[in-house]
Structure 1
Amino acid sequence: MIRPEDLLHPTPAGLYCPPGDFYIDPVRPVDRAVVTHGHSDHARAGHGAVLATRQTLAIMAERYGADFTAREQAVEYGERTTLNGVELRLIPAGHVLGSAQIEVRWKGLTMVVSGDYKRRRDPTCALFEPIPCHVFISEATFGLPVFNHPLAEEEVARLVRSLGQFPERAHLVGAYALGKAQRVIKLLREAGWDRPIYVHGAMERLNALYEREGVDLGPLRTTRDLLKGSLGGEVAIAPPSAIQDRWARRFADPVTAFASGWMGVRARARQRGVELPLVISDHADWTELTDTFTELKPDEVWITHGREEGLLRWAEINGQKARALRLVGYDDEDDEAVSGPAEGSGEATAAS
């Protein structure tokens, strides 16, 4: 019998496949990488070759430049390919545009590396697809029972109501530049907000990429040349760090909002001085995680980058074999905001 560790096992560089001689989401430059999605802790520059969805490759090129790797291999969802005799298939993960689970098959053993994922509808990316497997490798960002996120549509409805209640005040929404910002914009459109939405310059290039990929974001305007006291009754979206720095001072008595799964923790919202916390996450919450394990019924679950202990205990109680991988080098882009570049630089590293 082939052991799962013979097919995939953790190394300092990331999750490694010895028979295929490739890494999944490596945290340092390697000869061959398979990348689940475009967030910078999973998609790094400098690899010899990168296999990913076409959208993820486009995101990496936008963020790092066209020479981010020596060789690109674009694979469509559901398409089967092989690396040194190991069969791969990329399946939608529901996290952000182009995000994929990596199905790895070799000598009768099937393992699925889910990357970051969520099970909820997102109008900006393909919905997560459950894939039967022997071993399912899952994130654990919100791997505690306290995390049960409300519907994102309900949170955006709260934002729209606030705009009606405070028409004289600008509403500044902190949102991660890749995935979260576009999702909030699209949900606002679905909620009937058809006025221009103002965006920090650091988001313009990624917004344009989403538009090229067929995600209609409606009329967007830059905030670059606004006068002080502007945008009463309007929405502006920016990296979370920007809503707390001098960039925000130009707006009319702003209502500060932050779109993050962590906004369900009141202490975090207070710590950031957020007036309107929006509990909108691109990660699976506790119910989504445990429902996924129950639905898939894999022989084993491997749990990584997050709160593994709660899920390990759940697995023990429910008779599910599980272990913690304890991979390092993966940040939670739904957590701490870090300082991003100046507006107009075309790239934001702030996290949400």
Structure 2
Amino acid sequence: MTRPEELLRPTPAGLYCPPGDFYVDPVRPVDRAVITHGHSDHARSGHGAVLATPQTLAIMAERYGPEFAGRVQAAAYGETTQIGGATVRLVPAGHVLGSAQVVVERGGLTMVVSGDYKRRRDPTCPPFEPVPCHVFITEATFGLPVFVHPPDEEEIGRLIHSLTQFPDRAHLVAAYALGKAQRVICLLREAGWSRTIHVHGALERLNRLYQREGVDLGSLAPATGLAAGALGGEVVIAPPSAIQDRWARRFADPVAAFASGWMGVRARARQRGVELPLVISDHADWPELIRTFEELGPEEIWITHGREEGLLRWAELSGVKARALRLVGYDEEDEQAPDSTIPA
């Protein structure tokens, strides 16, 4: 059987597959890339060729322009593609729209590159699909036992309770432009919030893309051209940088909220000036990470980025071989610059 290091190996540019001569989520331009999802720390422009799901390719074109790569190839979930001497298949990762795990196979060896993933339900994308494998390559953004995220419904319930408690105050919810903003909107809709939700201009193009892909966001309106003190009792969704900007001062005594897994860390919420922290993450928390490893039963676990020390210790105690790749260039939770460059 092929040895793992012969099929995938870490390099300064990212995970490289010698038999297929391609990289997974490379952090610099390469001749051929397989992209797990559209967040800009994983999906960069300038590659010679890109293979990804149709939705990820659409997101990259929206963010970087139609000429973001020399050529592109769309692969539907479950579709098998032969790249050189390796077989590649994309399966859902449950992270954001179009997100995929990359299943790479050769010579009886199966390796799964998870990209970023979560295990809980998300109304905006298909759920994580477990793929039994010899080597599972995981993120560890929330890879410590202290990170146990509450149910999404509870956090959205806290937002709606605050809207009821403070009907004269606008509620500004900070949410990353790709994935988190649309998920928060859908969770609000599922909780019965049918009123128009106002959005910052940086979110409008990706909201339209989600709607074109069949994700129903309900009634939305731009949060622009409004009189001072507007939108008391209403929800405004904006990128994180906007809620601390002069832009936020136009609204009625705004309640600053932030939807992020990091809002479970009180010091981070205080540092951001967040009045209503909402612990809603697009990454697996500690119980979800451990559940995934136990479900897949890999012979080895490779950790790409995040808090690897907790997972390395768990693997040692569980008798599972594990290694930290310490790949650089991946953010903790999509705090990328491109969202802030779109005019409000």
TM-score for the superposition, normalised by structure 1: 0.96
The runs of at least 4 aligned residues of structure 1 exceeding 4 Å deviation read 334-339
In the aligned structure 1, how far is the partner of 2:53 from the partner of 2:63? 16
- Residue of structure 1 in register with 2:123 after alignment: 123
- Residue of structure 1 in register with 2:329 after alignment: 329
Alignment gaps of 5+ in structure 2? none
1:241 correspondence with 2:206: no
Once the two structures are TM-superposed, the CA of residue 226 in structure 1 deviates from its matched residue by: 1.1
- Residue of structure 1 in register with 2:203 after alignment: 203
Contact 1:230/1:250 (CA < 8 Å) preserved in 2? Answer: yes
1:293 correspondence with 2:293: yes
Aligned AA (1:107): G
In the aligned structure 2, how far is the partner of 1:73 from the partner of 1:65? 16
In the aligned structure 1, how far is the partner of 2:100 from the partner of 2:342? 31
In the aligned structure 1, how far is the partner of 2:86 from the partner of 2:2? 14
Alignment gaps of 5+ in structure 1? 345-352
With over 3 angstroms needed to count, the CA separation of the structure-2 counterparts of 1:102 and 1:11, relative to structure 1, is same
Contact 1:93/1:100 (CA < 8 Å) preserved in 2? Answer: yes
In the aligned structure 2, how far is the partner of 1:204 from the partner of 1:75? 26
Once the two structures are TM-superposed, the CA of residue 334 in structure 1 deviates from its matched residue by: 5.1
Once the two structures are TM-superposed, the CA of residue 337 in structure 1 deviates from its matched residue by: 8.6
- Residue of structure 2 in register with 1:257 after alignment: 257
Contact 2:176/2:335 (CA < 8 Å) preserved in 1? Answer: no
SS at match of 1:23: strand
Once the two structures are TM-superposed, the CA of residue 341 in structure 1 deviates from its matched residue by: 2.5
Once the two structures are TM-superposed, the CA of residue 333 in structure 1 deviates from its matched residue by: 2.4
1:13 correspondence with 2:13: yes
SS at match of 1:150: coil
Q: Superposed, which structure 2 residues align to 1:181-192 within 5 Å? A: 181-192=181-192
SS at match of 1:70: strand
With over 3 angstroms needed to count, the CA separation of the structure-2 counterparts of 1:338 and 1:148, relative to structure 1, is farther
Once the two structures are TM-superposed, the CA of residue 320 in structure 1 deviates from its matched residue by: 1.1
Contact 1:147/1:285 (CA < 8 Å) preserved in 2? Answer: yes
Q: For residues 84-135 of structure 1, give each alpha carbon's deviation from its aligned partner in whole angstroms, at most 9, with x where no partner exists.
A: 1311110000000000000000111100000000000000001001000000
Q: For residues 322-350 of structure 1, give each alpha carbon's deviation from its aligned partner in whole angstroms, at most 9, with x where no partner exists.
A: 11011111112256999813534xxxxxx
Aligned AA (1:279): V
Q: Superposed, which structure 2 residues align to 1:44-63 within 5 Å? A: 44-63=44-63
In the aligned structure 2, how far is the partner of 1:337 from the partner of 1:17? 29
Q: How many residues align?
A: 344
With over 3 angstroms needed to count, the CA separation of the structure-2 counterparts of 1:338 and 1:22, relative to structure 1, is closer
- Residue of structure 2 in register with 1:347 after alignment: none
SS at match of 1:340: helix
Contact 1:56/1:98 (CA < 8 Å) preserved in 2? Answer: yes
With over 3 angstroms needed to count, the CA separation of the structure-2 counterparts of 1:338 and 1:46, relative to structure 1, is closer
Q: For residues 142-171 of structure 1, give each alpha carbon's deviation from its aligned partner in whole angstroms, at most 9, with x where no partner exists.
A: 000000000111101110110000000000
- Residue of structure 2 in register with 1:228 after alignment: 228
- Residue of structure 1 in register with 2:310 after alignment: 310
1:80 correspondence with 2:92: no
Contact 2:40/2:334 (CA < 8 Å) preserved in 1? Answer: no
